[in-house]
Each structure stands twice: as structure tokens, then as C-alpha cells.
Structure 1
Amino acid sequence: MQKSNSNVDSPVSATIGEPQKPLNEMIVRKNSGLEKVRKGVSYRQRPLVEERANIVQSNTSPKASRPVWRPPTEILSEVFIYCLPKDEYLSPTPQVAPLLLTTICRRWREVAVGLPSLWCRLQMKAEHDNWKKRALCYNLWLKRSGGCPLSLRLECHTNWSELQSLLQPYIQQISSLKLDFFACDGPFMMEGFHALKELTIHKYGFDHTSAIDHSLSKLPVNLRHLNMTTLLYSRKDLDFFSDSAWARLTHVEINVNGLDAFPRILHLCPNLSSAVMIGILDPIKTPEPVTHVNLQSLRMSGDVFLSSAGALGLFDVLTLPNLRVVEARNIGPWPHEEFKEFLIRSECPLESLIFGNAVHSTYQQREQYAALIPTLELSVEPDSNFDMHEFLEDLGSEADSTDQQQEDYVTLVPSVEFIIEPDSDFDIQFLL
């Protein structure tokens, strides 16, 4: 009897080499396997899997008029693809696809193991315990990917060296990579990841950024998308990186400590076409005019309680002649005059201007933008005219709110829920 040391393969290893079972018993087993698959898929996938599973089941049921029909590999493969969870990364869990598909019968196992597209997404963890067992499972999974592009999420709670050593044979396959830094002893080395196009770096409960900065200091040559929204960078922090390391990036998502960081990003990334900037949007302190001819999309979201009363200074230093989309959220008063002068100076073909929640602009201001760019599409969320500072002042100075005042607040913020205690309308003047 053939045996396997892999925990992944163990559920079916006992079936290899066994005597041939009666036909009816095999059919019952396959049908029970179909039920497992049906229960293991998500709600959205279920109709598609049901349709294809019914085809398989109807053709494997005993019929006196014809022999049992085995579905072609192509049909099973299509069913298996729909069985995969919608999660961005998959964990080696026996109860869900693709591992579940290898436990039904020998035929299903052969098809699943031989279908590389089932094994292209994986979440891997480097922890202090059970590493040998994990490594065996991860290696087997990656082998089954058959040279297809890989999308991986790596979690490190110790040292990156073990994970990097395991990945070395597959390094040319990795096209998308998410690094989750927990408590790490050293940097993740980016050398050799020539196929990598998307990189996301997250930091959790880990104060020292030297390991992360080292990972970002030499980016792969084909990398285009960089997401580091859980890291906080000031202008001074970004001076650590060389221009050549970031010059090929076309999309950046970053958490900034002050708007002075953004002109530096534009200098680092001359080919940048879209940028997402969140964080502390303190006004520009050292004006540094910058012209960037490739940026087409700018999305920004800050902290409304740290807003600068409409004077960001950002649009005073920027000239973006190719800008097409601007989206702003949570920045308080909108810098109207500053932005209007920016539009005139840039002469950009702006197509979409989106004011999200907690962006305070007026109808008259938006009319001026439409006059400057007649083809501009303006999108304003219901509470974008709402002034949080004025609202808080009102709450502090008007303990005795009237029905009309409460209605005004509901109009400004439709989702607000008012709780009025019985004596909140009590007028002390009446008592006196």
C-alpha cells in the first residue's frame, strides 16, 4: 500500500491500492462527496456549483439502460474552480476547497491535484511552533501551482528566513505579495522577485520600522502597485528611499504624517498615475512647487478633527496637467480658493470631483468648478455640507434644543439618531 507523510494527502492515502469497491458503493461515495462540496461553497457560488454538480450526479446515478458515465476532466475542472472560496488568499484547510476536493475519491483527487489554477492563492504563516509541518504543507501546495502566477500572503511572527528559503524555488512565479509584519527579527529581502507587480505591506504591533524600510529600499524592477497604508511616513522618513527604487511605480497607497510628504512622493515616482493618501493631513510647511505630468487620480482622506480650516497648502504647490479624478473625505473645510487656482494653473482635464463625508463645501463653490470645467461630473455625499465643528458647538451651547433644530440636524446628517430625555425641553426661565 502506498503511504504519504503529508497531512494534506492523508485523507485519501488509504484509498490507494485498496481492492475495487462495488459500483453502487462507489456511486454513493461520490454523491456524498458532492454534498460535501455543495455545503463547502459560499452562498454566491452555490447556484453555479449546484448546476454543474447536478450534471455530474445525474450521469453517475445507476441506470439500467446504459453504463455509468464519468464526467470529462474539463467539466470537473470547471466545477472545481467554482468551488474555491472567494477569499483573496486561501488557507490549507481540509474542510474547504481545494483540499476538500482531494478527499472525495481517487478520480477527483487526480483532477484537483493536476489543476494548477486551484493552487495559485495561499496564506502562509511563520510562527515559532509546527514550522516543519507547515513547511511540508506549503511546499506541496506551491508545487501543485505548476508554474502559474502566485498570489501570496505571508505572516511573520519570528524571522523571515524560513519563509524566504521555502519560497526560493517559486520566486519567479510570485506576482502579488502581501507582507504582514508582526514581531520580526529582520527584513524581508526583495531581491529576486522579478515577476512581482503588486506589493502590500502591513504592520501590526511592531514599533521598529527599520526592517520594513530595508524591504522598501530596493523594490523589484517590475513592481507597479505599492500599498503601505498601515505605515505612517513623514517627509523626513521618505528621504530614506532613493529615487531609483520607486521610479517605476504607477500606483501608491500611503499613510502620511503631514502633507509635506506628498510632493516627495511625486518626486520619488515620476510614472505615478494614481495615488491614495490617508492620515494626518497637516498643512504644507515648506512649500516646494512640483509638476507631475502622469498623475491622473488623487484620492485623499484625513482626520476631520485635525483639519486646517480650509488652508491645506497642498494645491498651492501642485501642478497636475493630466489629473482626471479627485476624491476627498474627512478633511473638514474644503480649500476652495486654493483648489480653484490649482485648476486654472494645471489646465487639467478633470472628469470627476467627489466630496465624501466630512468635506465642507458650498453649492456656490461647486458651481464655480462647473463653470471652469463644463464637462466635470460632481458627486456630493449627503453630509458633505455638514460642519462638524459648528455641530459640536451647537450641542455644547444649546442644551435645550427645539423640534426645528433637531429636524435641521437630521436633514444635515440623515443617519443621525436623536435620543431626547424627558426633561431636555425643560426651560429654566419658566421655573424662575
Structure 2
Amino acid sequence: MSSGYPIGVSSPIRTAASASSPPALRSRIAEIDAETVGLHARLAILAAERKTIVDALQSVIYPAVLDLPVEITAEIFLQYFTGAQIGGDDPDVQSDPGWVPPCGPLLLASICRRWREIALSLQAIWSDFFFETRTAFGSTEKLLECWLPRTGTHPLTVALREFNSNNRILTSLSPYMHKVHTFTCTIDPDRSFPNDHIQLPALRSLNVYTVVTLDAGDHDDDAITPITAFMRLPRLREVTLIRCPLPWILLPWAQLTTLDIVRVWDVQLLSVLRQTASLEVLALSKISESDLDDETLVRLAHLRTLKFNRYQREVGMLQKLILPSLTHIEFALPGRRLRWPDPTSHEVLCFVGLIQRSACSLRSITISDPTFSDAMACLRAAGPTLEVVKIQDSDWNTFSMEVFLEQLDSRVADFVPNLKSLSLNPCRVAVEIRYTDLVEVLAYRSQDRGEGTSRLESFELVIAGQESPSWPKPSLTELDEGVDKLKVLQDNGLGINIRCPQKWIPGVDPLLLRSPLEPRED
């Protein structure tokens, strides 16, 4: 009968019964030690063999990933990384079907040993993080102590939510503040701001938000202690202020080159712009108009780019500016439905006045939701220096599109003579265009047309929208001759992108709705 013990291992009961003298016991201990050493050696051999097999299996399952050079894997990590969140894990949020876990370095380091080594050595993915201060700081303080040293010498991008309610965070960050290049914070106007606890000598980009939407009269600007922590930052160049009344914050306005402002009063904005002598990029959104009596114009000698929020309908601020160096502008127009029966929108008149008053050489323009007549008026006012044109969310019909192409094809009065890039993306109406007609325009524009003109380098047409009974069925007449000529133009270097919805209206041949340059499936 089997004893139930492994071969070579004696029963302890039998051993104790048969060996009663001390020499026999010592001899048995020596035997047990020898057997134990042998078993450990055998286990080590088996563990090594197992590791070899596991590595072989991994190389079979993930050969492309594991064989990538470290530099390629690190670059993939950088592209995948979207900034890490420390603290603030809300179970209610995580249970939402659309919740996506943060793409932080801890996730990358948890995949395998090789990825862990790369992630721990890659300073960049540890140097961009968002700290949720509504979480009890003690629960994440140890994590932050381990996290921050891994940033090494890399510049920091730090975002803090309502950090003025918890100065312990600033204490932990203090040894690393000299590396912060980009700083984002949300503030509560009802709480004091820790002006004396912030030292950011290397800061280049600042983003400030308020935690509530501020309407006129909600807060007394004079009763709020202004934010002075960012007054003396010699490297600060880019600032974004969202729902932050300008009297609340003191900044080195004269040295800023980029300014993005959302939801302020025009009188406050103009007061600040008079101090921004070095400004090159200005983005505005939801600027509230007041009863402003000051007719003094603001001259921004170095401003190159002016952007209005895409859905901003009021661009009256254009009437207050002189921009001699302006080269790019983005703005939205009210569309026919919102301005009928006025022949020309107020926004177009403001734009025309800005160009004439500034005598600038505009090179790029993006217009959203324009009528055909408004778009043509803006393009003509922009002058012959215009090179890049983007028309977004247009509702032009087939006739308007034909007239537009005729203007581009005109041999008499050259329309936008230096046009290099044209984008109509998207067109909300199912316009009909013959490829044979389109190719003539593109061929003419992409050739050498003499002194004072430029060749067209790229063309984009995207038809997208929702089905409407009042719209014609999209047909973009497809003729083999026209498609062949489009392909020839593309082969000769002209970038062409034509896209249409595949399933816009039931019963329409999808071949008529896709790009003519896409290969067909027989």
C-alpha cells in the first residue's frame, strides 16, 4: 500500500519510531537537508525552463510589438499618452458606459516587464498630469511623492482643479515649480487665491478658468482680491482666460504673443488689448457687447492671426481694430436665414472695413456658414495676396457652386489670383457638379498662369449633411473622362480630396456619392 508521501521522502512517524538515538536523528537531518537542496535546484531548473517557454510564447503572440526598437515603442507611448489624472476617481463616473480610463503611465507600466522599463524611463509621460484636488489629498500624496521624481529634467505641464482650496498640493509641487512650462488652474471667485505660494519662473503658457459661469452683476469686481501671482513671469507668452473677468487678474500683457479669451465684456477686452504691444495671435469667443462710447481704435502692429469662435455671430470687435500685419483670419457669418432681407451682413461690412483700414496682406481666410454673396464679398475684399481659402458649413446650391467655379475659371478678371489651397468642407446641400467641368477649373488653376499668380496645390470638396426633402438628390455626375483627368491632375502633384456621404438618401447609387479617385470593387 502506498504511504501517500513522495518517492524518497520517508514517513515522519516511521522515521521517529526507527531513529531514537541522537546520532541517528542528526543523520536524518543531514539527509533531509541534502534532499531539500536537490529539490530547490530542481525547482530552479523548472522555473528557468518555464520562463524560456513563456518568452517564446510571447514572441509568437506579440512578435511585432516585442521586437520593436525601444525608440519606436517610446514614440508610440508618447502618441498614445493624453495626460495623466492623479486623484478624483469617481465610481459614479467609472460606471458610465462611455467612461474611458485615463491613458496614464501607470497603465502602460502594468502591461509587461519590458513596457514597464520603458515607461519608467520615459520622463515625458510623467511630466504632463492633471491633479483633481476635490479628492482627499492624503490618499494621493504618497503617489505624488513617487511620481514627481520620475519627471527628471523634462519640462512640466501641470493642471490643478480648485487648488486654491488645498495649499498642501503647492507644498508638494514646490521643489518642481521651476520646471513648469504650462500651468492650468481653475479658480473659485469666492475663495482667496494663494498668490504668495506660486513661483513659476519658467512658465510659458498659462490657462485660467473659473468654476462657475459668471454673468453681469454676479460678483463685485472691486470686492475680489485680484490674482497677482502671474505678474512677473519673464518667459510667459501664451495665455487663455475662460470666464475670467479681466480686472480679476494682473498679467504682463506687454510681453504676450498669444491670447485666447472666452466670455468677457468688450470694454474690458479693449482695455487689455491696448497693453498687448507684442501680440501675434488673438482668439475671441462670446464677447459681450456693452454701451461702449469710446471710439478710439486699437492698433496691434504685430498681430498675424485673428480667430473668432466658429459659432460667434458677433464680430463687431472688428470695427475697433487696426491690424497692419494680419495674414490669417477665422470668423463665422450669420447665414441667410438669420439676416434676411439685408443684402449684405453687418459682419461682412466689419470685415471689409478692417481690411481697408489696416491695409494688410491677408494670406489665409476661414469663413463658416457664409451665404454665397457674403463669401464672394469677403474674398474680393481680402485682395490678391490671398493663398488659402476654407469655406465651412456652406448651404450653397448648385447654381451658386457653378458661379463660384466660373469665377475661378475666369480668364478675364482673375479671381483670387494667388490661390494655392481651396477647401469646401463641408457643403451642407447636395450640390451637383460635373467632374468634367470641375477638372477644367482645376487644370486651369494648377498651371502656370503668368506673373502675379500662383498655382493651385490642393482642392477639397466634402458634401455632408442630413437628408432633407427640399434638397435635390446628390448626384455629382460621374463621367469616366472627367475622373480620368482628375487622376492625371493628382498624378501631376495636385492634392485632390472629394468626399460624399455613402448613404445619404435611399435608392441613390453609392458610386455617385463617393470619391471619384477611390478604387472600385468589381
What TM-score comes out, normalization by structure 2 length?
Answer: 0.54
| Residue among 128, 135, 139 paired with 1:133 | 139
Superposed CA RMSD: 4.1
Is 2:419 aligned against 1:369?
no
Q: Is the 8 A contact 1:246 1:268 kept in 2?
A: yes
Structure 2 CA distance for aligned equivalents of residues 28 and 100 of structure 1: 26
Q: Which residue in 1 is equivalent to 2:240?
A: 227
Kindly provide the CA deviation profile for residues 240-275 of structure 1, in whole angstroms up to 9, marking residues without a partner as x: 555x62221111110144444443232131111001
| Higher Cα Rg, which structure | 2
| Residue among 80, 83, 98 paired with 2:77 | 83
Higher relative contact order (CA 8 A, sep 6+): 1
Q: Which residue in 1 is equivalent to 2:209?
A: 202
Map 1:13-412 → 2, pairs under 5 A: 22-27=47-52, 51-53=64-66, 55=67, 75-76=69-70, 78-83=72-77, 86-91=80-85, 98-100=105-107, 102-103=109-110, 109-129=116-136, 131-156=137-162, 159-181=165-187, 185-189=191-195, 191-205=198-212, 213-214=226-227, 218=231, 220-228=233-241, 230-231=242-243, 233=245, 238-239=246-247, 245-280=252-287, 282=289, 285-286=292-293, 287-301=295-309, 307=314, 313-329=316-332, 333-357=345-369, 362=374, 364-366=376-378, 368-370=380-382, 372-375=383-386, 377-383=388-394, 410=429
Q: Is the 8 A contact 1:183 1:206 kept in 2?
A: no
Kindly provide the CA deviation profile for residues 5-40 of structure 1, in whole angstroms up to 9, marking residues without a partner as x: xxxxxxxxxxxxxx898223334666788899x7xx
Deviation at 1:351, TM superposition (A): 0.8
Structure 1 CA distance for aligned equivalents of residues 229 and 316 of structure 2: 28
Kindly provide the CA deviation profile for residues 177-209 of structure 1, in whole angstroms up to 9, marking residues without a partner as x: 221346974325374201111112233337668
Q: Is the 8 A contact 2:163 2:169 kept in 1?
A: no
Kindly provide the CA deviation profile for residues 273-298 of structure 1, in whole angstroms up to 9, marking residues without a partner as x: 00110004537722221211111100
Structure 2 CA distance for aligned equivalents of residues 79 and 314 of structure 1: 48
One-letter amino acid matched to 2:331 = A
Deviation at 1:90, TM superposition (A): 1.4
1:220–1:278 CA distance, 2 compared to 1 (3 A): same
Structure 2 CA distance for aligned equivalents of residues 240 and 226 of structure 1: 14
One-letter amino acid matched to 1:251 = T
Structure 1 CA distance for aligned equivalents of residues 123 and 325 of structure 2: 41
Deviation at 1:355, TM superposition (A): 1.2
1:385–1:222 CA distance, 2 compared to 1 (3 A): farther
Give the secondary structure class of the aligned counterpart of 2:144: helix
Q: Which residue in 2 is equivalent to 1:69?
A: none
Give the secondary structure class of the aligned counterpart of 1:88: coil
What count of residue pairs does the alignment treat as equivalent?
Answer: 337
Give the secondary structure class of the aligned counterpart of 1:22: helix
Give the secondary structure class of the aligned counterpart of 1:166: helix
Structure 2 CA distance for aligned equivalents of residues 282 and 97 of structure 1: 42
Give the secondary structure class of the aligned counterpart of 2:380: helix
Structure 1: state its 5+ residue gaps. Answer: 1-18, 39-49, 57-74, 387-408, 421-432
Structure 2 CA distance for aligned equivalents of residues 345 and 77 of structure 1: 52
1:95–1:204 CA distance, 2 compared to 1 (3 A): closer
Structure 2 CA distance for aligned equivalents of residues 160 and 35 of structure 1: 50
Structure 1 CA distance for aligned equivalents of residues 274 and 359 of structure 2: 21
Q: Is the 8 A contact 1:124 1:138 kept in 2?
A: no
Structure 2 CA distance for aligned equivalents of residues 97 and 141 of structure 1: 12
Structure 2: state its 5+ residue gaps. Answer: 1-43, 88-100, 336-344, 398-427, 432-462, 471-522
Structure 2 CA distance for aligned equivalents of residues 248 and 171 of structure 1: 21
Structure 2 CA distance for aligned equivalents of residues 156 and 193 of structure 1: 18
Structure 1 CA distance for aligned equivalents of residues 311 and 114 of structure 2: 57
1:160–1:218 CA distance, 2 compared to 1 (3 A): farther
